[in-house]
Amino acid sequence: MNPARIFLPLFAAASLTSAVADDRPNILFILADDLGWRDLACYGNKFYETPNLDRLSEEGMRFTQAYAPAPICSASRAAFLTGKTPARLGFEFVTKNEPGFQPVDASLRAPAFTLNLSTEEKTIAEVLAEAGYETAFFGKWHLNRHHGRYLGWSPTHGPPAQGFLHATEDFGSHPYSYWNKKEQRKFSPKIEHAMLPEDGMTGHAIRFLRGKHERPFFLMVSHFWVHTPVHTRAKWLHDRVLKRIPDTHPRRGELAQYGAMVETLDHHVGELLAALKAAGLEKNTLVVFTSDNGGHPEYFGNAPLRGSKWNLYEGGIRVPFLVRLSAVIPPGTICETPVAGVDLLPTFAEVAEAAEADLPSDLDGKSILPLLQKPDAEFSERDLFWHFPYYHPEGKKYDDAPEKIGIDDGFTSKTKPNSVIRSGPWKLIRFYESGVGDELYHLPADLSEQKNRAASEPEIFGKLRGRLDAYLNQCGARMPVPNPAWQKND
């Protein structure tokens, strides 16, 4: 790898060369929590106003087929940071307080819970630190068993143990920060019109940007927005969003609260980007914004995509993905090539001119730098894989959940253990329970995944099934097994 030979000519107009100081780009990675593919105005949302993220899209590149590595938080974050799929990592679900198995009355038993991202895995932060970057992390981690409190960082497996030099825990102004105080679960008269509470987590990131930097930096800002609890204390914002939602919408109240959270997220991203510009860092900073998984089904609903967070239909894994680097990406560029969250580690490594020998040899991701340079560039077709050998929801909620996973129906439906391969226009979903048939979809003609072509396209089905099985076997994926405690209901 010699990325400097590829990358530096693009900066010629800006007079950037390796002969002058260390002018490698800074990297700002902004990760939203549970933000759906259609939640932003720049992705077609008609109810919510997101001017700051829309501007980021207008100034850079918007990807239409970007995917989170998993349909659930911890698994996705582990894959973002390592460039490896949850199947390869053996980290496919969320962290828990204690080891054990899912409390689900079902025919299969999912693998045991993974509690921590192993410190033996090399993260983006560790790769970039070795390349000479200053590293910082603020926000939601969720990659270790809860320490001291819900989502608390472990001293042995938290960000400082995974390559981040600067890191501070803070819920910010997200409802997590006050949800244990029931008297605060209401509109606050202290919040004036057109004002929002200061977000401590964003404040930490802004102070880092304003600091002195003698070398390029990698800053990861991991928002808690828009994860549940879905709530705003700003009545003016709630009421403004509510006016845009038709009176006839069955979830109008929920969508107003959720929309207020989306617009709050946009506001804090705007604060961060404004600080970047004020510090004179905007032109030489690669900014990447995306979400850890698809949106919650009980709120905006992800239509026209089927499914949601927790399952592997498009609504659970297709996410917003915006990239800006002014010296490289022309404003208002759109890229329709499928990309995935596991691509970030190799991409950032190439931008940072990290030594190839410093990268893990078993990465699943691929640098998307060629697409940033030219969105219609030839990008050798490759298979993308997902593996979710778990059930959702857990406990009695699983028994009560609807069987069918629909489109914008407002329900958290049953997710059963399954894996996915996407190859070109085709997507195969393999289910592991006996009697649950596999599904094959042609996404360009069937984005909502309504017409199962498994029976009508046996040759394509067979090839994809074979490649999916081979991949899972090659990376030692953990599989669901017969549940010894299951009592079949005749």
Catalytic residue from among 73, 204, 231, 238 = 73
End-to-end Cα, the chain, rounded Å: 60
Helix ranges (H only) for 322-426 are: 344-351, 369-373, 396-400
* CA distances to 206, 348, 481 from 275, in Å: 6, 22, 51
Are 385 and 364 within 8 A, CB to CB?
yes
* 146 annotated active-site: no
> Which residue(s) pair with 429 in the sheet?
420, 439
* 142 annotated active-site: yes
Residues 6+ apart with CB under 8 A from 155: 147, 161
Q: How do beta strands 166-168 and 217-222 pair?
A: unpaired
∠ Cα 150 153 155 (to 5°): 140
> Which residue(s) pair with 264 in the sheet?
none
Torsion of CA 178, 182, 188, 189, to 10 degrees: -140
Beta strands in 66-185 (DSSP E): 66-67, 108-109, 134-139, 166-168
Catalytic residue from among 42, 142, 193, 387 = 142
Report d(CA 188, CA 230) in Å as an integer: 15
Are 108 and 432 within 8 A, CB to CB?
yes
> Which residue(s) pair with 419 in the sheet?
387, 430
Whole-angstrom Cα Rg for the chain: 22
Residues 6+ apart with CB under 8 A from 408: 300, 301, 302, 303
The residues annotated with a catalytic role in the active site are 73, 142
